[in-house]
Amino acid sequence: MTQSLPAELWPDVQPDAARRLMLAGVESFARRGYHATTTRDIASGAGMSPAALYVHFPSKAALLFAISRSGHEQALALVENAINDPALHGEPVPVMRRVTEDFVAWHARRHTVARVVQYELQALPEQEYAVVADLRRRIERAVRDLIERGLRTGVFRVGDARTAARAALSLGVDVARWYSERSGKAPPELGREYGELVLRMLGAEVG
Amino acid sequence: MTQSLPAELWPDVQPDAARRLMLAGVESFARRGYHATTTRDIASGAGMSPAALYVHFPSKAALLFAISRSGHEQALALVENAINDPALHGEPVPVMRRVTEDFVAWHARRHTVARVVQYELQALPEQEYAVVADLRRRIERAVRDLIERGLRTGVFRVGDARTAARAALSLGVDVARWYSERSGKAPPELGREYGELVLRMLGAEVG
């Protein structure tokens, strides 16, 4: 069965009308920025009335929050999946390779969603921001812990695990800024190249 | 003599009123996004009338272009300065270290300007975009040439110079996204750490 784009982007969100509004939100925010977008723009992008939008999202901020939280939850899930994958035995080198591959590929494939999520962070209201900030801290901490484990077992060599974790994630996040379908590289291929670069950056013996 | 912030940011721009408008533009664009900012907002941010703004910039787009072009020219200049510094003898390892240190420190110190320059690229009119895109290509080409030279002389080891150049620049650009004065690291210190990380990423023998 072929899934629609909204269903593929947000498999956990129901009903489909809410997902279509999230996609219309992403497209409007990406084009004009959050502040210059009205709920009317978003509703009409989803082929709905403004009143129908409010059935699903009480405000433009609530819609941005749904997009942002979901994006961060997906990113955290892929990091945790790699850490907990029994085939990788929690070993820092293959786990870090998988984290980078998946994180980079996700930011390439979902570059429009990822841009909105990153660039409009400051537009979130305080409480919603706190939820997203907590997800971000969990992603960073998971990667930092992984790097610290690699430092202890001697497979990584870097001065400061915090800076190294930030740099590794930064490489992935920034893919969303410059990536386009015309870039010539498929997301998984780019992920593999970055996996290699990040392991080298961490001082691991590769290739 | 202590310089004002606008004079420090844009030493080549005259008169001071134009620089103050550029700073007010950066602040408004960073806060609300380009599309939601009016020329009235910018003029009032600079303590001027909208009519006074038009004396220096015929449009909001012209102001964004001035900010964007200057930012890219400064980034290109620091790359070329490292390449041409006689003390570094054009050697790929020390040149790449210097490029990274300066590029990262610039993006940390100028993080608000850099964010506007990166995030509002699509808002530039076509001809202005072409000028900025050319500067971006020159920055990327200079770094790619440097990496290719290092590959030929055997001091770097990476699969694809183009991806490696993009990744190295990406690390620097993304600093502007997350950096804040509260991050705890001074720009030059962060630059030195990243210089080390990038050289490792390129497969150079360091430390």
Q: Quick: pLDDT tens for A130-158.
A: 999 999 999 999 999 999 999 999 999 99
Supply the DSSP string of B83-114, one letter for each residue: HH-GGGTT-HHHHHHHHHHHHHHHHHHTHHHH
CB A155 within 8 A of CB A206: no
Average pLDDT over residues A189-193: 96
Q: Map tokens 């787009």 to a residue.
A: B61
Do A59-201 and A1-58 fall under one CATH topology?
Answer: no
Does A36 lie at the interface with B, CB-CB under 8 angstroms?
Answer: yes
* Set of chain A residues whose Cβ sits within 8 Å of the Cβ of B35: 32-33, 35-36
CA A116 to chain B, closest CA, distance in angstroms equals: 10
A132: which residues sit within 8 A by CB, 6+ positions away?
Answer: A65, A68, A69, A72, A121, A124
Average pLDDT over residues A115-143: 95
Specify the CATH number of the domain A59-201. 1.10.357.10
Asked if B118 and A163 come within 8 Å (Cβ–Cβ), the reply is: no
How high is the pLDDT of residue A1? 45
Average pLDDT over residues A159-171: 96
Q: Which residue of A has its CA nearest to B158?
A: A197
- Give the span between the Cα atoms of B91 and B83, in whole angstroms: 8
Q: Which CATH number fits domain A1-58: 1.10.287.110, 3.10.580.10, 1.10.10.60, 1.10.240.10?
A: 1.10.10.60
Q: Quick: pLDDT tens for B3-55.
A: 678 888 888 888 999 999 999 999 999 999 999 999 999 999 999 999 999 99
How high is the pLDDT of residue A119? 87
User: Which of A8-17, A109-118, A133-142 shows the lowest mean pLDDT across its residues?
Assistant: A8-17
Average pLDDT over residues A163-183: 93
Q: Which of A137, A148, A174, A152 is nearest to A96 (CA)?
A: A148
How high is the pLDDT of residue B2? 53
Whether A182 has a pLDDT exceeding 90, the answer reads: no
- Give the span between the Cα atoms of A57 and A39, in whole angstroms: 10
DSSP A86: G
Q: Which residue of A has its CA nearest to B136?
A: A178
CB B107 within 8 A of CB B172: yes
How high is the pLDDT of residue A3? 65
Q: Which of B109, B104, B115 is nearest to B31 (CA)?
A: B115
SS3 A12: coil
Q: Quick: pLDDT tens for B103-114.
A: 999 999 999 999
Cis before residue B15, ω within 30 degrees of 0? yes
Which residue in the set B35, B159, B198 is minimally distant from A193, CB to CB? B159
To the nearest 10 degrees (0 to 180), the angle between helices B92-109 and B111-119 is: 90
The structural domains of chain B, with segments of one domain joined by +, span: 1-58, 60-201
Length of chain B: 207
Mean pLDDT of chain A: 94
Average pLDDT over residues A84-106: 97
Confidence band, pLDDT 50/70/90 cuts, at residue A48: very high
Q: What is the ipTM of this complex?
A: 0.89
Does A196 lie at the interface with B, CB-CB under 8 angstroms?
Answer: yes
Whether B84 has a pLDDT exceeding 70, the answer reads: yes
Asked if B167 and A197 come within 8 Å (Cβ–Cβ), the reply is: yes
- Provide the Cα torsion B163, B166, B171, B173; round to 10°: -160
Encoded tokens for B197 = 């990380």
Q: Which CATH number fits domain B60-201: 1.10.357.10, 3.40.50.2020, 3.30.56.10, 3.50.50.60?
A: 1.10.357.10
Average pLDDT over residues A120-129: 93
* Set of chain A residues whose Cβ sits within 8 Å of the Cβ of B190: 163
